[in-house]
Structure 1
Amino acid sequence: MELTAYLSFVLIAAVVVITPGSDTAVVLKNSLMSGRRGGVATAFGVTAAAAVQGVLTAAGLGILIAQSQPVLQTIRWIGVAYLTFLALQALRSAWKGQYTAQLRSTNAGARGFRQGFITNITNPAVLMFYLALFPQFMTPTMPFWALSVLALTLPLLGLAQQTLLALLVDSASKWLQRRRVRRALDTFTGLALGGLSLRVALQ
């Protein structure tokens, strides 16, 4: 794989990464609820899911999944249901307006990783991105290491962007944890997640 071709792939992947989506919304939500630990763990969960989808696509399984409509539709509707659940959680939190330190619990990391992984692994848009873009950069003689680099570029870029977001939110936690600000952010996050679930449902 030529360097110029790979740099083109990186540029396209970077544009995808900085475009807000369900993964960004979940990282923001958990950073607000659980601080740095929850936000960073969520970013790692998102990354793990994207890496799995990238490896599956590189191995050729992604095409089989995409061509199997029952499987793809099942994944899509699981994602819709989960995004809706997270949206309702955020909106309920905004409605109640009760914020305590107990949200930063010891299991925040595990919960954040789980939510990040499920949100991204059930997002068919990630798989479709790989399937649309990989063939333009793959060749029949491409070695496994080159395929691995392509498969892991998007997850690693996403990890950097989402970890930075979690750290920025945590650094501004004193201001963000004000009740009025927190309710506004929960409302925004809930509406964003709800809108994303609707968009996935209509795809």
Structure 2
Amino acid sequence: MSLHTYMLFVAASLVLCLVPGPDMLFMLGRTIAQGRAAGLCAAFGINLGAYVHLLAAVTGLSALFLASATAFTAVKWVGAAYLIYLGLGALRSKGIALPVSGDAKKKALHLIFWQGFLSDVLNPKVALFYIALLPQFMSAQDPSPVKHLIALGVIGNMVGISTSITYVFLAARMTGALRRNQAISAWLTKTMGALFVGLGLKLATEKI
């Protein structure tokens, strides 16, 4: 596989990473409502979930999954229900950004990390990304298709996490003053909850 092909893939991945999707909105929602640490944990959780999709693509599981309308619909509904569950939890919360004490804060960040992970794993659009995009940059005569598929997936995930970290730092810097006001912090958390509910409903009703 040529360097030119890899560069084209990097450019395509970057463009796709810049387009807002459920994962990005989940990450930005956490960042704006709860700060940089929460956003970074969400970003790394989402990135780990992307490697699950890459593994599924390499082993052929994604192709089997997408071929089954029942499995595809089931995952879509589970993902939608999970986002709605997170949203309702945020709407019922008191709106505190993050616990101050060490153990409580670590527990909260750990939870956000795994929420990001599940948000990505249960997103059928990510599976479509790996099945639809990666083969476009590979040749039918490729002597090492699995190796190059993995290389493209890792590159795409590196572009994704780099873009996510940039977004988190920018969003956290721009909204830091808002979070220091308890009333505004509570409002941000409620808004984040409404956003998650909206994302869940959108995922449940749209045709992918």
Identify the TM-score tier after normalising by the shorter chain.
0.7 to 0.9
3-state SS of paired residue (2:63) = helix
Structure 1 residue 142 displacement after superposition:
4.6
- Contact 1:27–1:43 (CA under 8 A) maintained in structure 2: yes
Aligned to 1:99: 96
Give the TM-score, by structure 2 length. 0.83
SS in 1 for 2:99: helix
Higher mean alpha-carbon deviation, 2-11 vs 42-51, is at 2-11
After superposing the two structures, state which structure 1 stretch, 149-158 or 28-37, moved more: 28-37
Answer whether contact 1:57 1:130 (CA < 8 A) is retained: yes
Alpha-carbon contact 1:17-1:161 (below 8 Å) kept = yes
In the TM superposition, residue 57 of structure 1 has moved relative to its aligned partner by: 1.1
- C-alpha distance in structure 1 between counterparts of 2:156 and 2:193, whole Å: 26
- Could you tell me which residue of structure 1 aligns to residue 188 of structure 2? 185
Pair 1:81 & 2:81 matched: yes
Contact persistence 2:80–2:201 (CA under 8 A) = yes
Q: Which amino acid counterpart does residue 163 of structure 1 have in structure 2?
A: I
Superposed, 1:27-66 pairs within 5 Å as 27-32=27-32, 34-66=34-66
Contact 1:21 1:196 in 2 (8 A): no
Instruction: Provide the C-alpha distance between the structure 2 equivalents of 1:9 and 1:76, rounded to a whole number of angstroms.
Output: 27
Q: Which whole-Å deviations, capped at 9, do the CAs of 1:7-39 have from their partners, x for residues lacking one?
A: 222222112211122212222333345533322
SS in 2 for 1:107: helix
Once the two structures are superposed, what CA deviation does each residue of 1:155-177 show, in whole Å capped at 9, x if it has no partner?
22221122223333444423333
| Matched letter for residue 60 of structure 2 | G
Measured in 2, the distance between the counterparts of 1:134 and 1:53 equals 12
| RMSD, aligned CA | 2.4
Deviation at 1:180, TM superposition (A): 4.6
Cα offset for 1:100?
6.3
Segment of structure 1 superposing worse, 144-153 or 183-192: 183-192
Secondary structure of 2:35's partner? helix
Contact 1:76 1:123 survives alignment (8 Å):
yes
CA distance in structure 2 between the partners assigned to 1:101 and 1:121 by the alignment = 25
* Alignment-derived partner of residue 158 in structure 1: 160
**Runs of 5+ consecutive residues of structure 1 not aligned to the other structure:** none
Asked if 1 retains the 8 angstrom alpha-carbon contact of 2:62 and 2:131, the reply is yes
In the alignment, is the contact (CA less than 8 A) between 1:26 and 1:115 conserved in 2? no
Distance across 2 between alignment mates of 1:4 and 1:118: 34
Partner of 1:71: 71
Per the alignment, do residues 92 and 149 of structure 1 end up closer, same or farther by CA in structure 2, a change over 3 Å counting? same
